[in-house]
Amino acid sequence: MSMQGGSTPGRGLTLDEGPRMMEYICGECHFNQEVKPKDPVRCRECGYRILYKKRTRRLIVFDGR
């Protein structure tokens, strides 16, 4: 097995690579929108500047001690 091109074995491309987009909800008009890391924090519909992050659908378990 040769190591040409500087690639490491066991490491491949995943579908999640690239610009991450998060979903946010406008605090005024409740419009769902996706925001990239470099986009301004502003609603595209009404211009309101307070956006709320949507909750994840994954199960999150916290251990209370």
Domain locations along the chain: 20-55
Mean pLDDT value across residues 19-31: 88
For the chain, helix (H) and strand (E) counts, in that order, are: 0, 3
pLDDT of residue 52: 95
pLDDT of residue 5: 55
pLDDT of residue 59: 86
Kindly report, residue by residue over 48-63, the tens digit of the pLDDT: 999 999 988 888 888 8
Q: pTM here?
A: 0.57
One-letter amino acid for residue 20 of the chain = R
Higher pLDDT, 9 or 19: 19
Residue 39 · residue 23 · CB < 8 Å: no
Higher pLDDT, 17 or 40: 40
Superfamily of domain 20-55: RNA polymerase ii, chain L (2.20.28.30)
Residue 34 · residue 22 · CB < 8 Å: yes
